[in-house]
Structure 1
Amino acid sequence: MTGLLKRFMAVLMLVLLALPVAAVQPDEVLDDPLLEERARDLSKGLRCLVCRNESIDESNAGLARDLRLLVRERLVAGDSDDEVIAFVVDRYGEYVLLRPTSDGANMLLWAAGPIMLLLAALTGFFYLRKRASAPAPTEAALTEEERQRLRELLDE
């Protein structure tokens, strides 16, 4: 039974190591559990500007810590979730959002991929259609001069 228990504990440890670890430090945690939950939810949607594709909730970077503290500060001040996000976006730009908005100039970025795919498909379709309807290439026979020159080159 001891061997089975050891194996179970080893598997449990591996599973726990594979789980994402939040980088929130104990001194950052708010006393109010509702505010802390809101702060965690907001932090999961904000990008660490140092780590790029990691949320500030997961990042250990100093800037991520500053952003986590800023979010908590704004929540304690009484801001709504939208006001906190707007404040952070005003300060750091829309790049700080892990899921950018799909309005305004970003609409072009959201649509660029499908538009390019459609253009590539249309270009390929018309190219293949034109190629299929093109006359087959005809092979011109060699003239007597060309045959003689070819024999000379091959004999050398």
Structure 2
Amino acid sequence: MKRCNPLLPLAVLATLCLSAPLRADEQVPFKGYFIPIVRSSTPVDDTHVRLEFDVQVQATQLGKAQGPAWAILDLTTFAYVGAANWAAANGDAVSITFEGQFLLTDTPGVLENVETFEINAGTGRFQGATGAGVAAGQLDAVTLLPLGKGAPFAGAISSPGSLKK
């Protein structure tokens, strides 16, 4: 089976993501890690499955957060699309859409994740938030849990309060 260097797609995704126009008034770094825990999987058709997650997050600007997510995974290509809502303890939240690809590695049972995300809404101090970034990292091919402390991500988000007029 043909394998690719996981750094090449990540570099391309990062370049595309970071060169995209940002829509908010002022952008600040948005980075951290997340741990998606699969709660259910439901076949959609012969080649797709819908995954439901509970996600634990640690992020700049947001702090410790959690929330639901879902993804549709193509079982033939390992490509996926989905959405998440991450809420901080005080209820402030960001809404995210994402798409990505799981890549085979040389280590049996380990996948490389390459993902882009877009922040397209929020509540509380993130009302009207926008932003984008990339996520990456290795995960267990069976549980989809990240190896290490979580799946790292980095990008930018509109500064809390920058959209208030």
State if a TM-score over 0.5 links the two structures.
no
The structure carrying a bigger helix percent of its residues is 1
Higher relative contact order (CA 8 A, sep 6+): 2
Interval of TM-score (by shorter of Structure 1 and Structure 2): under 0.3
* Greater C-alpha radius of gyration: 1
TM-score (norm 1): 0.20
TM-score (norm 2): 0.19
